Amino acid sequence: MLKLFEREQLNLAKLPAEQTAIEVRDLNLWFGDKHVLHNITMRIPRHRITALIGQSGCGKSTLISCFNRMNDLIDNSLTEGEIIIDGRNINHKKENLSTLRSNVGMVFQRPNPFPMSIYDNVCYGLRLQGIKQRRLLDDAVEQALIKAVLWDEVKDRLFETATTLSGGQQQRLVIARALALKPSILLLDEPTSALDPLTTLTIEELMADLKKHCTIVIVTHNMQQAARVSDYTAFLHQGELVEYSDSDTLFTLPHKKQTEDYITGRYG
């Protein structure tokens, strides 16, 4: 029922600025001579989950990494076009990248806790921001772990090393580490592909809950997962945005043949 309501309300092409978390305008990206993203234009709605799907190598990870300028870390990358977040073009050369990356958190395929305690992992970014008061850090750690649905499992072992946690707990810890910075956008690049099915379900339930706090963009190879968790889905093929709509439509009544071929497993 809620999805029908959303579909009626949110016209992705004409999404008003106040409902848009990320507006991508004519985005092109090259790695050396290789033109990887072609004229991507899209609006990603606020407080929703948007999935990026497509064949291996089509540019999903590259696109999601544009949203917090992670591709800047790759020597030969060149980006053209605009990405508007909070009214600013984050591709501007004067963008403050550490502020951007606090506001647009990122979680990768393999959980990557730092080799330190659970507590220190969660408040790592806050300490980098200069926050030292124990009471503030304690509160932030507790709130972030509650949001990541990990608090009950770790509240009695906050000072144990994070690497003693299970894979699913580590992934929720990494999500808590991003949440501690109160991001408005959370990027998840195949966050469950290294996890077993039950743990995957825990993370999917968590995503649905996190929409209350932030906008989520997820890259996934798993179409069942995209259909289950995402409100909107973008299908990419060879660096082009082929189709982008609410997930119910994309997975049941795709408009483009290429999309239909992909979701029915005819290629990829």
Nearer to ligand ATP, 150 or 234 (CB): 234
Residues in the chain: 268
Q: Which of 61, 102, 169, 192 binds ligand ATP (CB under 6 A)?
A: 61
Using CB under 6 A, pick the residue from 30, 31, 114, 124 that binds ligand ATP: 31
- Window contacting ligand ATP (CB under 6 A); options: 28-36, 117-125, 135-143, 203-211: 28-36
Q: Name the segment binding ligand ATP (CB under 6 A); options: 6-14, 40-48, 53-61, 205-213.
A: 53-61
The answer to whether 186 touches 214, Cβ cutoff 8 Å, is: yes
Residue 62 burial by CB count (10 A; 0-12/13-18/19+): exposed, middle or buried? Answer: buried
**Is residue 36 a contact residue for ligand ATP (CB under 6 A)?**
yes
Helices (H), 192-256: 197-210, 223-229, 247-252
Q: Which residues of 119-135 are buried (b: 16+ CB within 10 A; e: fewer)?
A: bbbbbebbeeeeeeeee
- Which of 25, 221 has the CB closer to ligand ATP? 221
29 binds ligand ATP (CB under 6 A): no
Query: Among the candidate windows 50-58, 99-107, 142-150, 196-204, which touches ligand ATP by CB under 6 A?
Result: 50-58
Closest separation in Å from C-beta 236 to ligand ATP: 7
Residue 225 in tokens: 């997962």
Identify the residue among 24, 49, 51, 58 touching ligand ATP (CB under 6 A): 58
Contacts for 239-245: CB closer than 8 Å, 24+ residues apart? 239/35, 239/36, 239/37, 239/38, 239/58, 239/59, 240/38, 240/39, 240/40, 241/40, 241/41, 241/42, 242/54, 244/12, 244/42, 245/12
Choice between 73 and 198, CB closer to ligand ATP: 73
Closest CB to ligand ATP among 58 and 83? 58
User: Are the CB atoms for 54 and 235 separated by under 8 Å?
Assistant: yes
Q: How many residues bind ligand ATP (CB under 6 A)?
A: 13
CA distance 186 to 188: 6
Q: Of 75 and 152, which has the nearer Cβ to ligand ATP?
A: 75
Q: Would you count residue 57 as binding ligand ATP (CB under 6 A)? A: yes
Token couple for 21: 């978390």
Residue among 5, 56, 130, 156 that touches ligand ATP (CB under 6 A): 56
User: Which positions touch ligand ATP (CB under 6 A)?
Assistant: 31, 34, 36, 54, 56-62, 74, 221
